[in-house]
Amino acid sequence: MGSLLAMGATALAQEPTFTSSLTSPEPGQQAPAKKAKAGGLATQTEIVAGQDQQPMLSLNSAAAMEGAIAMYEEIVAGGGWEELASRTLKKGAKGEAVIALRQRLIRENYLPFDSLSSETASVYDAELMEAVRAFQVNHGILPSGIVAEKTLAELNVPAETRLGMLRENLTRVQAYSQDLTGDFAILVNIPGAQLETVEYGHVYSRHNIVVGKQERPSPTLASKVSDINFNPYWKIPASIVERDIVPKYMEDPSYLAQMHIRIFDGVEGPEVDPALIDWTTTPPDRYFFRQEPGSHNSLGAVKINFPNKFMVYMHDTPHRELFGRNVRFESSGCVRIDQVQTVVKWILDRTQTPLDEATYEALVNSTEQYEQPVENGPDVRWMYLTAWATDDGRVNFRPDVYGLDGTDFVFGQPQPKTY
């Protein structure tokens, strides 16, 4: 299989690029929004190379956060902002509610102050719609330009709360950016359920991802890509054997065969017949469970590895329908990547072995397991950022999905969220 990689000399120049309306903001203003895409998704999987888009984390992130904190301290000192009345607003609306919305967006620099003195201050015009869309992008909401329930809820979060989130996440940003090389990185933000590939301080691609459930949260970590497995075996952790695999087998004895899961007496031991085991008394780690490669495999066609103590990785998935949701907290801790082939090709093209589309398809369609070591792999950061600021003037916020704000959490394995 090594010769297949040698065949793939075509670089990534053939990959599609996407246009965007993103431009640098005026000093003290939030950046404008990107164009909304079809399909109702708040965030998109796309290649944005050449668009000068700023990553979630960079060597300058701490300074950007400190600037955002100073801005929100001024907002709080000035009395914050008024809560908006519950009302849906969209382009063409008129009245006092529109003026109140303008005032609210001015407070966070989404609009210039003189927009209140214009003849159309009480009209929901194109300028106001663009400001709303920018706000929605920065809060992980579909940038529709319509103020409805979710956007209204985010608008009505108190300024004091936003300031507290920025201060909380400054510590995280400082820790996550430590030892970051600044050349190549894969950034995962768990609350945002998004991944960025970054080169020399600019985003190459963004991907929707699936991350850990609230009861099985993903950890935060710092590492580097070490190797890529094509058609991997899934070596099933004992926790998943206990919670998922054995209960499903007990309900349906054909489950293991249907899912191509085999059981061995140790990693290198002989295969055992599950029907001969008393699963009501057998510890989940007594036997080694392994799912064979193929379309049924929970890891999909490829797995990206990096050293870490949590036994997690990034991978493909046969359940790609999950990427079509806005809420993507569905895994047992690992990260599933939409259009993972773009990430794999990006890694290999920027390390030692370019990989074209034909070679990639040949590898994944062979169903033969193949491991490609990666020399000088990109940095990997799995982060828990509920607030972050970027050099282009954006200040971003996301929900505290694991309830970790206020706990001084930075690195490690979060405890499952309880109710």
Query: Contact at 8 Å (CB) between 143 and 39?
Result: no
Question: How would DSSP label each residue in 193-219?
Answer: TEEEEEETTEEEEEEEEEEE-TTSPPP
Q: Which of 139, 296, 319, 334 is catalytic?
A: 334
- In the structure encoding, which two tokens stand for residue 387, read together? 């607030």
Distance (Å, rounded) from C-alpha 49 to C-alpha 190? Answer: 23
Q: Check if 202 is active-site.
A: no
Q: Which of 139, 202, 260, 315 is catalytic?
A: 315
Q: Check if 315 is active-site.
A: yes
Question: How would DSSP label each residue in 11-65?
Answer: -GGGS--------PPPTTSPPPPPPPPTTS-SS--EE-TTS-PPPSS-TTHHHHH
Distance (Å, rounded) from C-alpha 379 to C-alpha 381? Answer: 7
* Per-residue b or e along 242-280, where b marks 16 or more CB atoms closer than 10 Å to that residue's CB: eeebbeebeeeeebbeebebbbeeeeeeeebebeeeebe
State how far Cα 309 lies from the chain centre: 21
Query: What letter does residue 147 receive in the DSSP assignment?
Result: B
Query: Contact at 8 Å (CB) between 285 and 238?
Result: yes
Active site residues: 315, 334
